[in-house]
Structure 1
């Protein structure tokens, strides 16, 4: 079955998108997001007010056009035209009557064209004003976002967290080893130098010390060498305390450095977020303008339709009447 595809001549703006754009600007302006940059914050405040006032002005003009179109009453002229034509009155009376209706039709059509042209001109001015709002702002507080630096800092913090985990584990092992070596089972075997791994195995074999304690001490002695140097080829009891203290100092230094990095990351992410929102504002400004351009386009479509129906014939009047009905539906999608 063949279906007739009707051409969509009037494309109405998405007023929800328009309202969303206004809300985005108002949120940025009233919320003071860029208060750290007074000139940009002021610019956004002015832009939010301007877009809101321009939108209201456009809608007000659309509503006034609704009233004008609704009050034109072309249908009454068409009905009178048809009635007179069918009346059978002599040409001497018919011609003047038709002429009066034609004049009335021309006046109404002229009035509509004049009002729509005026509105089209003003709407175009408002749309152009909103479309070309100056939001560009090249300032260090906004542009000092360095994605590479942020990635480096996050990597450093991750590495610092991992390193601190290892240090804490080493410190825990060393502290526990110190307690073990101070116990009765071990104290007689802790001479000037601590026993080596081989000597510890001998103690275990002789059941002098517990295997679990021996394993702990061996691991501790192995980890200690990462932090202190050997003395006469071995380690002393003080080596353990020295290693523990060095680990504590290193943890303190890492925490301090990490705190600085985290603060810088926070600033960079805040700048990143500010840039994202700023780019969104530029985007919604474009959305606002592209939707409002459809108002201008619709007014132009109507004017073309009216100009095609300027001859004073019943067919032209019917064409204009249909055009006005379609135009009215378009206007209501904007004003409601």
Structure 2
């Protein structure tokens, strides 16, 4: 065997995803997202420090490995190998001895590179495992579910309060309009303390003594009044209009106050929900970082496996080795981006 089996063996790296995961942790810490959950906040802060440190280490390792391979002298070895191979006038025994020595030297240099790459692999894998093993579990998920149930109940209550408020206001408007009409001089002449009956209203309309629109307004107001008279246990009197308006005003104020309180609770829960939902984002970011760094480790494993083919070959294929190293350097440069 002459070494490398394939060139396109390396997995596709996504360093944007790695940086994105780091950004999620940085944002969670900067926004103090889990301040209401001190235990979780402390864990996220520790994770943020580690993920930043280990991400910088990735870049440092890539730079160091690239420098190590660039300084290993494989280009010089390849050049000397070609010169020997092309030297037609050189004694065959001397040529064979020279090529053998170059093969030995090449494998020694390659062994040095392999040691450094394997050391980097072990470090990166250890860092990856450390991030993967971080304890970020918390009851935030349960709290989100609890808040969601409360939020649903509050939104339902808000809708009911708004509907009640609109009904109270409509009743108040109708009764107020009726009261204002019945307080005019004409109606003061026709009614004293008692409110007009439906028959009286119809008779006044038929005699063209009052506009039909006024009668419709009064009918509506009296209809709205009835449910409050039943509620308050009172008889229908002219004074009942004013008394009902006072009670309605109190009910409207109470309704608005409760609605405002509910809306404030909704706002607070929604704000907390937005923060706690970033908890899932943190877990996803951790998984994303571990997966993507795992691909970097896999790339190192591929490189080491192919290098061992060169190391165990009877004769080192210098040209293929150079191609292999060039391919791996391009992988390292992806990590550096």
Q: Same fold (TM over 0.5)?
A: yes
- Give the structure 2 partner of residue 196 of structure 1: 197
Give the Cα–Cα distance (whole angstroms) in 1 for the partners of residues 333 and 230 of structure 2.
86
- Give the structure 2 partner of residue 34 of structure 1: 34
Give the Cα–Cα distance (whole angstroms) in 2 for the partners of residues 189 and 234 of structure 1.
19
Give the Cα–Cα distance (whole angstroms) in 1 for the partners of residues 330 and 48 of structure 2.
29
Give the Cα–Cα distance (whole angstroms) in 1 for the partners of residues 134 and 210 of structure 2.
82
Alpha carbons 1:174, 1:220 under 8 Å: kept: yes
- Give the structure 2 partner of residue 169 of structure 1: 170
Give the Cα–Cα distance (whole angstroms) in 1 for the partners of residues 148 and 114 of structure 2.
55
Change (3 A) 1:296 1:181: same
- Give the structure 1 partner of residue 18 of structure 2: 18
1:320 aligns with 2:324: no
Q: Tell me the secondary structure at the aligned position of residue 72 of structure 1.
A: coil
CA RMSD after TM alignment: 2.4
What's the CA shift string for 1:226-276, capped at 9, x where partnerless? 111399996211221222122222212222322332233223323322231
- Give the structure 1 partner of residue 54 of structure 2: 54
Alpha carbons 1:105, 1:312 under 8 Å: kept: no
Alpha carbons 1:10, 1:298 under 8 Å: kept: yes
Give the Cα–Cα distance (whole angstroms) in 2 for the partners of residues 204 and 254 of structure 1.
38
Change (3 A) 1:91 1:134: same
Change (3 A) 1:89 1:111: same
TM-score normalised by length of structure 1? 0.90
What's the CA shift string for 1:109-167, capped at 9, x where partnerless? 10111010000000001111122221112269945733233222211211211221121
CA shift for structure 1 position 95: 4.0
Q: Counterparts in 2 of 1:116-135, with a 5 A limit?
A: 116-135=117-136
CA shift for structure 1 position 107: 1.0
Alpha carbons 2:151, 2:269 under 8 Å: kept: yes
CA shift for structure 1 position 50: 0.9
Give the Cα–Cα distance (whole angstroms) in 1 for the partners of residues 333 and 303 of structure 2.
14
Structure 2: runs of 5+ lacking an equivalent: 1-5
Q: Tell me the secondary structure at the aligned position of residue 192 of structure 1.
A: coil
Change (3 A) 1:126 1:212: same
- Give the structure 2 partner of residue 295 of structure 1: 296
Alpha carbons 1:22, 1:52 under 8 Å: kept: yes
Give the Cα–Cα distance (whole angstroms) in 2 for the partners of residues 230 and 103 of structure 1.
105
Give the Cα–Cα distance (whole angstroms) in 1 for the partners of residues 232 and 104 of structure 2.
118
Alpha carbons 1:185, 1:208 under 8 Å: kept: no
Q: Counterparts in 2 of 1:253-272, with a 5 A limit?
A: 253-272=254-273
Alpha carbons 1:37, 1:141 under 8 Å: kept: no
Give the Cα–Cα distance (whole angstroms) in 1 for the partners of residues 270 and 233 of structure 2.
52
What's the CA shift string for 1:198-253, capped at 9, x where partnerless? 21111122222222211111110011011113999962112212221222222122
Alpha carbons 2:7, 2:324 under 8 Å: kept: no
Alpha carbons 1:13, 1:295 under 8 Å: kept: yes
TM-score normalised by length of structure 2? 0.90
Q: Counterparts in 2 of 1:139-288, with a 5 A limit?
A: 142-143=143-144, 145-229=146-230, 235-288=236-289
- Give the structure 1 partner of residue 3 of structure 2: none
Change (3 A) 1:61 1:203: same
Alpha carbons 2:175, 2:225 under 8 Å: kept: yes
Alpha carbons 1:145, 1:271 under 8 Å: kept: no
Alpha carbons 2:58, 2:335 under 8 Å: kept: no
Q: Give the length in aligned residue pairs.
A: 331
